[in-house]
Amino acid sequence: MSKSESIADFYKNKFDFLPDNLQKDIGHFNVFRLEDCLGDDKPPMSYSRRDFYKIALNRGHNIYHYADKSVEINGTALMFFNPLVPYTWELASGKMQDVKGYFCIFTEAFFNEKIRGNIGDLPMFAVGGKPAYVLNEQQDEYVSSIFEKMLSEINSDYLYKYDLLRNYTTEITHFALKTEPSEGLYKHPDANSRITAVFTELLERQFPIENPAQRFTMRSAKDYAAQLSVHVNHLNRAIKETTGKTTTHYITERLLSEAMALLKHTDWNISEIGYCLGFEEPTHFNNFFKKLTNHTPTSYRIV
């Protein structure tokens, strides 16, 4: 089962070291050339959440998997990833050695006291937002020049370099805000499809369950309707017309899938698994699982 990747995990997987400033209260920031993080000796990028923000400039023919979306871009893409949504990307054509670009990673604490509002509220990082911006040659040159300034500054001894790096990162976000996101990548045939896509993203944001203390709380159609600011009947109609399933069925399927993964890939006891999936009593979880699979959680685990 995919787990959330921490910044420490990132450094261990890519470089087998931890930077000295990882635990500072001011937050963490770093910037890289993409090609320095790729290669046969590097582990593939998994589809999972990270506990940090990421801005990437990738060149080539690639497919990005972000929440419930898969976006294919042949050219230069400026991508924004937040800690709440799982993502990965894959090469659509060519060789991994041909992939070029840049990316920076940073924690929310790096920006907390330095920008107006919350960085997660920016449109490119928001729930249901559009994180992909396809760049032309001139735009590629402009954003690349900012990343090059970051690379130069991160290695400098300048006392206020992190203030400057924060400004460069903000400059990229403002560039994107003034640039229309690539709407063509996210076309939905109608309003029902749009509602279904955002509903699916809200559902997926709650997974994977990574520890017994985590709790799946949005279990009813009303919970999602409230988040989407639509009437529950409207949400139910949209889901049914788009997927052929009821909202409850959709949620139940995803809950069952997570239950099966936890039973197979963790050593948590049945009560812990039931509780983190939102069941107050182990018997409720047992009944739920047996009704849908004809197995008890215990018998499924040992099959």
Domains in the chain and their CATH numbers?
A: 7-181 (2.60.120.280), 191-302 (1.10.10.60)
Q: How far apart are CA 191 and CA 211, in angstroms?
A: 36
Q: What is the pLDDT along the chain (303 residues), one digit of tens a residue?
A: 345 678 888 888 787 777 776 655 568 999 999 988 876 666 666 667 788 999 999 998 888 877 656 778 889 999 998 887 777 787 877 777 778 899 999 988 888 655 555 677 777 887 667 788 999 999 999 999 999 999 999 999 999 999 999 999 999 999 998 887 665 554 555 678 778 877 887 888 788 888 889 999 899 999 998 877 789 999 999 999 988 999 999 999 999 999 999 998 889 999 999 999 999 999 999 999 999 999 999 999 886
The encoded tokens of residue 130 equal 């559009």
Q: What is the DSSP letter of 3?
A: -
CB 278 within 8 A of CB 251: no
Query: In the chain, how many H helices and how many E strands?
Result: 10, 6
CB 87 within 8 A of CB 67: yes
Residues whose CB falls within 8 Å of the CB of residue 110, separated by 6 or more in sequence, listed in order: 26, 27, 28, 29, 162, 166
Give the orientation angle of helix 232-243 with respect to helix 247-265, to 10 degrees.
70
Angle at 120 between CA 118 and CA 124, to 5 degrees: 125
* CA-wise closest residue to 31 among 124, 149, 135: 149
* CA-wise closest residue to 192 among 232, 240, 157, 155: 240
